[in-house]
Amino acid sequence: MYHLLFIISLWLNSTPNASIAIAEGNVDKIPTNWTSLEAVEEVAIGKSYWAKVQVSAIPGDKLTLQGGNWYMQRIHFLNDQSKLIHIGNHLTFEAEGDQTFYLYYPFHDEKESDFFKITLTKTEDFLARKYAKNIFQSAFNSILIFVLLVCCFFIMGSMSRIYSNYILYILSILVFFSYQYGLLGELIPFVNKIPPTWMWILSASISFTYVHFSRSFLDMKTKDPLNYKVTTFGLYFILAIVFTESLARIFDYDILHQVWYKTLILTIEFGLMIVFITRIAMMRTIISSIFLIGAFILLLASLTGQIASTFKIAYETNLFVQVGLVLDVFILSIGIATRVNIIQKERRDAQQKLIEQLTLNEGLQQEYLKKLEKKVAERTADLAKRNTENETLLKEVHHRVKNNLQMITSLLNMQQRRLSENAAKHALNLTKNRVKSIGLIHEHLYKHADFSKINLADYVEELTFILIDSLYRGPRKIKTTIEVKDLKADIETAIPLGLILNELITNSIKYAFNEHADPHIIISVALVESALELNVIDNGHGLVNEETTSGFGSTIINTLIESNDGKLEYPKITTGLHVRVRLKAFKVIEVPIEVSSLD
């Protein structure tokens, strides 16, 4: 049962006579079956109604007829000729004695106990009340807008989620109360077409954005995962409320004023709020303490709003709710500033600790480097000493090997002098040259600083000179051209190369230059297609006889070529003999070409 009330405020110089009647109908046509206000016992939810107001006043007086509450912006005002003269919350007119007005209510103001709340006052008194209301609302909105702009300034510098969530919270408050008191409708006329019921349902966005802001403000996900889950349930609960009330509104069911529904909602909200506040109190931080103060104020304002909604006294309690929200915004702003200061202090402390740690690390590093440098110096000195000893030892080894080979050569010389047969003497001479080719390598090793590498250019030149001097007895001196890149080889490569070269030069001297007028030998060593290539070319008779291909020297050459993955070739030339040996298994280092000639 709804209590219906018609209020006439009598602040005129004389009391006007007025009466009111109501009838159910739609906007298309003014009804004719009017019923006096006192005879109406019940108003159906979801129905639209007409009110017939008959006013008797002194002609010429400026009067204002206000229908419903401040947020009711869709009342149609028609004159006694059924002409629409205004749509909104109030109508200002000049009295003409007896006048009749028709007011069309397109919705039931279910947030008020007085459905047909109509106020008739002097225009100056109405404007005084309106200005007083607007001053309060303007101050309320100005505070929120100022905080909003400050947050927008800080969010550009930090891009923090706290500021963005706080902005959403303030915007939800600003939009709701700007609509509630008609300010939003004055800026955006389309908003006046939205029934207040929907705006009351959407007012849940204030709670939603508040909970969402609290999660980031208190860093619940990291510092209190349990409370984070509770607030997650709370967010889903708010969405469920919006869905339920929207569904009830669509089907014209007044669930907002049902005691069982309000009891259920308040019970769940109270339980969630107890857990929410208890968990925050357990954090025991400055930030949580500041938040709790604002939360208690907001809780009191929220409960007041819920009770006011249930008992339909919304207008009187909205002011208290707004004051609570402003205080909460003020406290939360202090909390955000405090939180920023704490974060900056923690950041400065962390930077200071980092600097101290870096300084300590630098000192430890310098101390460690000094110890390391000392150890390195000691190890370097020790290694240098050992290296000198090893070099001396290695040099001595090569020298002794060379002396031993020289001793073998001397023994062979003694044996050669005792022989009478030329063939035997010649065989011993060849053996001596082979021993000399090996001894020459060890001589090169102990005479130079690098005990692991042999300069092939020097070695080939000296070996060639020794062989010619030892074997050749012709009338004309052999012209020798040596083309060897400045290659350095280890002993494993130099020995087989020297033995092969020894046999090839020996064959040329023995068989190529008999009665030759201008003997000439060309020797080259180079890297060709990933192989070490040795070429021996003479301008002799160009004979390849059985002895050169099947004798002991040939056996030596073939064995060494095979063990070094090599190949033996006899390229065709116009005059003389060309022998080419390619070794794939070798170890050399290549540097620029060096050309020398021995005449």
The domain ranges of the chain are: 17-125, 160-352, 471-598
Name the packing angle between helices 314-418 and 161-180 (round to 10°): 160
| pLDDT at residue 481 greater than cutoff 50 | yes
SS3 483: strand
Distance CA 456, CA 458 (A): 6
Q: Are 524 and 483 a contacting pair, CB within 8 Å? A: yes
Distance CA 588, CA 443 (A): 19
Look up tokens 């909205």; give the residue. 318
Domain 17-125 CATH assignment equals 2.60.40 = yes
- Predicted confidence at residue 13, as pLDDT, reads 37
H or E segment and range at residue 325:
helix 314-418
Sign, CA torsion 378/379/380/384: positive
Mean predicted confidence (pLDDT) in 341-347: 83
Which range among 70-74, 327-331, 384-388 shows the weakest confidence by mean pLDDT? 70-74
Distance CA 586, CA 149 (A): 81
Q: Are 512 and 528 a contacting pair, CB within 8 Å? A: no
- Predicted confidence at residue 10, as pLDDT, reads 36
| pLDDT at residue 446 greater than cutoff 50 | yes
Q: Are 41 and 82 a contacting pair, CB within 8 Å? A: no
- Predicted confidence at residue 594, as pLDDT, reads 44
- Looking at residue 28, the DSSP 8-state letter turns out to be T
State the pLDDT confidence band at 6, using cuts at 50, 70 and 90: very low
Six-digit token string for 340 = 């920023």
- Say which residue, 49 or 292, is predicted with more confidence: 292
Which range among 75-84, 345-354, 535-544 shows the weakest confidence by mean pLDDT? 535-544
- Predicted confidence at residue 363, as pLDDT, reads 87
- Predicted confidence at residue 393, as pLDDT, reads 58
Which range among 27-36, 441-450, 548-557 shows the weakest confidence by mean pLDDT? 441-450
For 212-246, the pLDDT digits (tens) are 989 988 889 888 999 999 999 999 999 999 999 88
The distance from CA 475 to its chain's CA centroid, rounded to whole angstroms, is: 88
Distance CA 464, CA 475 (A): 18
- Predicted confidence at residue 12, as pLDDT, reads 35
Residue 371 CB partners (closer than 8 Å, separation 6+) = none
For 106-149, the pLDDT digits (tens) are 765 555 545 567 778 888 888 888 777 777 777 777 888 888 78
What whole-number percentage of the chain has pLDDT above 70?
Answer: 75
- Predicted confidence at residue 451, as pLDDT, reads 56
Mean predicted confidence (pLDDT) in 296-314: 68
The distance from CA 379 to its chain's CA centroid, rounded to whole angstroms, is: 46
Mean predicted confidence (pLDDT) in 554-572: 85
Dihedral class, residue 97 (left if φ above 0, else alpha if ψ from -120 to 50, else beta): left
Strand partners, 487: 590
Ranked by mean pLDDT, the top range of 247-251, 402-406, 545-549 is 247-251
Mean predicted confidence (pLDDT) in 486-492: 80
- Predicted confidence at residue 230, as pLDDT, reads 93
For 11-54, the pLDDT digits (tens) are 333 445 567 787 888 878 888 888 877 666 666 655 778 888 88
- Looking at residue 16, the DSSP 8-state letter turns out to be P
Distance CA 69, CA 315 (A): 8
- Predicted confidence at residue 146, as pLDDT, reads 82
Look up tokens 């080979």; give the residue. 405
State the pLDDT confidence band at 593, using cuts at 50, 70 and 90: very low
Backbone angles phi, psi at 257, to 5 degrees: -105, 15
- Predicted confidence at residue 428, as pLDDT, reads 72
| pLDDT at residue 365 greater than cutoff 70 | yes
| pLDDT at residue 501 greater than cutoff 80 | yes
| pLDDT at residue 508 greater than cutoff 90 | no
Mean predicted confidence (pLDDT) in 494-518: 81
Domain 471-598 is of which CATH architecture?
A: 2-Layer Sandwich (3.30)
Q: Which residue from 246, 247, 238, 243 is spatially nearest to 265, judged by alpha carbons?
A: 238
Mean predicted confidence (pLDDT) in 342-358: 86
State the pLDDT confidence band at 170, using cuts at 50, 70 and 90: confident
Mean predicted confidence (pLDDT) in 482-499: 81
Mean pLDDT of the chain: 77
What whole-number percentage of the chain has pLDDT above 90?
Answer: 6
Q: Is the pTM higher than 0.85?
A: no
Distance CA 562, CA 228 (A): 81
- Predicted confidence at residue 2, as pLDDT, reads 36
Mean predicted confidence (pLDDT) in 270-286: 89
| pLDDT at residue 592 greater than cutoff 60 | no
- Predicted confidence at residue 9, as pLDDT, reads 37
